[in-house]
Amino acid sequence: MARGFGSLPVTGVSLNVNRGAMAEEAFGIATQPVIYGGTYSASGSFDAVYRSDLDTELNTFFGGFTTGVVTPSASIIIYDDVAAYTVTKYAYNSLELKGAVKDFLRVSMGFIAQKAAAASGSGSGTVSYTNAPSPFYNTTIDIGGAVKCSAFSIKFDRPIDTDNFILGSSLLQTTSDGNYLQNGASTVTGSVTMANSEYSNFTSLMLDSDSEAPATGNTNPLGGGELTITCSGGTITLADCKFNEGSVSAQGRNRFDKTISFMCAVESASDITCLGATVS
């Protein structure tokens, strides 16, 4: 049987099933006399080298990212060497894009699902790895101007209510229109590791006078700006990044490593561009 996550060209897959077992704690004996299944939950993830084949999954993730509408996909089949599993009513709740020297642009996506069950089949049989990936030497980063970097990571999260159960069913519930409930704000965070020669963005994290943190003012300004990552697979743009943490370190005579962590303010879908996806 051919391995596969549907027909996607992935590098790794995980699937977790939890039966939420309920156990009775008895009064008359010191053991658990009864154990039943409780709420049923399923979750998983995949990681892959980014190819245009993944744009459909990115579109699915970003659909409703700024509106809170989480529409699950009907099903997908995971094939291992000897068996197959159908994951039903799954929805992506996280996406991470990572790039580093000596590597390709990589994608990791996490999902929750209503259930997973054994499936029949002889393998995916349609997986193709022929579309070109995006290598590091075709990747550049711009933060208000070109910046020399050795690595970056961007994490998109959209929290889905995985405790939405009702009496009479062990399955995770959807709304009347078939969507899952989003129970928190969609967030965009990340980090950039700067080259040894880059200092201005790192120093923008620091206060150089008390006036920048007024005791009675309404704002406490942060460094940052628009972040644009250009690679052979497309463009990633975050319109309003705010630097919130930074670190610099060196060991012996090795270079100083400088890493900046950021958060992104998002008011509308136009504040995000992500490769071949349409953000809504």
Q: How far apart are CA 194 and CA 155, in angstroms?
A: 18
For the chain, first and last CA: distance in Å?
38
**pLDDT level of residue 48 (50, 70, 90 thresholds):** very high
Query: Which range among 1-5, 61-65, 136-140, 219-223 shows the weakest confidence by mean pLDDT?
Result: 219-223
Residue holding tokens 């309404």? 218
Please tell me what DSSP assigns to residue 208. Answer: -
The answer to whether the CB of 238 falls within 8 A of the CB of 154 is yes
pLDDT above 80 for 58: yes
Q: How far is CA 137 from CA 87, 236, 255, in A?
A: 37, 16, 21
pLDDT value at residue 258: 84
pLDDT digits (tens, 9 = 90+) for 154-211: 999 999 999 999 999 999 898 888 899 999 999 999 999 887 777 777 777 666 555 5
Query: What mean pLDDT, rounded, does the chain reach?
Result: 86
Q: How confident is the model at residue 212 (pLDDT cuts 50, 70, 90)?
A: low
The strand pairing partners of 48, in sequence order, are 107
* 64-68, 95-99, 124-128, 257-261: segment of lowest average pLDDT: 124-128
Percent of the chain residues topping a pLDDT of 90? 42
* Domain range annotation of the chain: 4-23+33-274
Tell me if 198 sits within 8 A of 148, measured CB to CB: yes
Residue 57 reports pLDDT greater than 70: yes
Residues whose CB is less than 8 angstroms from the CB of residue 107 and which lie 6 or more positions away in sequence, other chains included: 47, 48, 49, 50, 54, 58, 95, 96, 97
- Alpha-carbon distances, residue 251 vs 61, 246, 248, 255, 257 (angstroms): 40, 17, 11, 8, 9
Which residue type does 28 have?
G
**Highest mean pLDDT of the ranges 71-85, 89-103, 126-140, 242-256:** 89-103
Is the pTM for the entire model greater than 0.85?
A: yes
Report the pLDDT value the prediction gives residue 99, as an integer from 0 to 100: 93
For residue 144, what pLDDT band results from cuts at 50, 70 and 90?
confident
